[in-house]
Amino acid sequence: MMLSPLTLHQDSRPVFGGFLVSQALSAACATVPDTFLPYSSQSSFLAPSNGNEKIVYRVERTWEGRNRLNRVVNASQSATCVYTAIVSFQSATDSIGNTLEYGVPKPVLGQLPEDIDPNAIQALQPQSSISALSNGNEKFTYRVKKTLADGSWVTNVIHPSPNARVYTDISGIVTSSISNTIDFRVPRPALDRPPEDIGPDAIEALQSSMLNGSSPIMQQSAEDRPLEWKLHSVEMGERPTEFRVRGYFRSSPLSTESCTTHLAAFAYASDEFFFGPVFAANPMAVGKGARNVTICTSLTHNVSFHDSDAKIDEWAIVERETTWGSAGRVMVQQKMWDMDGKMILSSSQEALIRLKEAETEVKEVKTEVKKFGTEVKEAEAELKEAEAEVKEVAAEVKEVEAEVKEAEAKAKTYEDLSVALRNKAT
């Protein structure tokens, strides 16, 4: 089966992983009866894929059961398999009897999207600005809301835990035989704004605080993306595992009610911006604009679907966190709910991330220091020139003052002479 490859990147940049996940799911769905719906996609990214070349999706029917089906999907370019997925289906019509019914409750989001400053996360910088937003020893949630009185923006720094500290050191960074990596472990929501109260540019503001402007994702406008994202809040803590990012997303209205189409779109959404928590949770390690990251690529992406009736063109809530980092790999997890609190899906992704060696970082810092020193010398030279000009002006002022005094003295002499002549005349 062949599907047209989709990519947001230009030239020969790799295809965005979310496209592979969603298209493989669509390909698998095309081989099962309409009464079967996907409940799991377990996949691996094997090699980079070229956005200018055709991707071929081959579906293998690995299991045909009465209530469950399985498919293996391999995506290939030329002779190379770039992506593989195991997709599992369950019958939507067969009675399954008495079952357990529960799920993680959604975070409470009480404020509308348009009531959140479009630049709400602009102040969240990947280095010293984190500690600048707090007193340096408390966990905080940074968010901005619009006041009801005058429509102005007010920054709220929430302190949910007086015993937690802001993560401002690099104790989680280790240098191993695999080179410099991010290393941390897991030691484990209430959102007060609905999506309509959040500005449309908040997600771009967060990205610009973490990524270099030349990054492909930073070259895209909101109109270029198939999904509308509304960033609600970012919670920082002492360790990377205490980081949480929460918000909303949806697509523009779809022309179909097909469950598999909407679930494929959710699969796509599950991979968009998925690296964000790793970068934001390790600001000192990745550096400003992710300057210290040398390799960053997805390895695995797993999705479990919990609600086959969910609609991608309706607001959904998302919460993401990073739970582990070691041996050159990191783990990111997420949960999605509909606005009524029903869980839509849970997902995890493991990625390969490598950082620059400390020696390289030191060299770059020395280069910057040297550059800064040159700029300081130039500024000092300019200051000296300005001081010389000031002295020249001061000398000119003195000359003018002397001329004024001389003129005043002559005027006084003339005045005295005039008085004497008038007196003599009388």
For residues 147 and 271, which has the higher predicted lDDT (pLDDT)?
271
The per-residue pLDDT for 284 is 84
Q: Give yes or no: residues 18 and 160 share one domain.
A: no
Residue bearing tokens 């401002």: 168
Q: Which residue has the higher pLDDT, 166 or 107?
A: 107
Q: How far apart are CA 319 and CA 346, in angstroms?
A: 10
CB atoms within 10 A of CB 217: 17
Q: Indicate which CATH number applies to the domain containing 75.
A: 3.10.129.10
Proportion of the chain above pLDDT 90, given as a percent: 41
What is the C-alpha separation between 374 and 277, in angstroms, rounded?
A: 37
Whether 147 and 237 share a structural domain: yes
Would you give the distance in Å from CA 18 to the centre of its chain?
16
Same domain, 66 and 118: no
Per-residue confidence (pLDDT) for residue 207, from 0 to 100: 57
Are 177 and 127 contained in the same domain?
Answer: yes
162 shares a domain with 84: no
Residue 171, pLDDT above cutoff 70: no
Same domain, 67 and 205: no
Residues 315 and 192 placed together within one structural domain of the fold? yes
Flag whether 363 is in a domain: no
Give yes or no for residue 314 having a pLDDT over 50. Answer: yes
Q: Which residues pair with 180 in a beta bridge?
A: 175
Is 170 in the same domain as 60? no
The pLDDT of residue 147:
36
More confident residue, 131 or 82: 82
pLDDT of residue 179: 45
Q: What is the pLDDT of residue 127?
A: 30
Q: Inform me whether the pLDDT recorded for 313 exceeds 60.
A: yes
Please state, in angstroms and rounded to a whole number, the distance separating the CA atoms of residues 261 and 403: 90
Domain count, the chain: 2
* Domain that residue 148 falls in: 113-258+271-297+310-322+340-356
If asked whether residues 81 and 118 sit together in one domain, one would say no
pLDDT, tens only, 259-307: 999 999 999 999 998 888 999 888 888 887 788 888 888 999 999 999 9
pLDDT band at 97 (very low <50, low <70, confident <90, very high): confident
Residue-wise pLDDT for 176-234, tens only, equals 334 455 554 333 355 566 676 766 565 566 656 555 555 555 455 556 678 888 888 88
Calculate the average pLDDT of the chain: 76
Q: Has residue 378 been placed in a domain?
A: no
Residue 66 and residue 162 share a domain: no
Residues 152 and 30 grouped into a single domain: no
Q: Is residue 370 part of a domain?
A: no
User: How is residue 424 written in tokens?
Assistant: 């003599």
Per the domain annotation, does 304 fall within a domain? Answer: no
Q: Is residue 346 part of a domain?
A: yes
Mean pLDDT confidence for 168-173? 27
51 and 123 in a common domain = no
Q: Which one, of 33, 37, 78, lies nearest residue 56 by Cα? A: 78
More confident residue, 174 or 55: 55
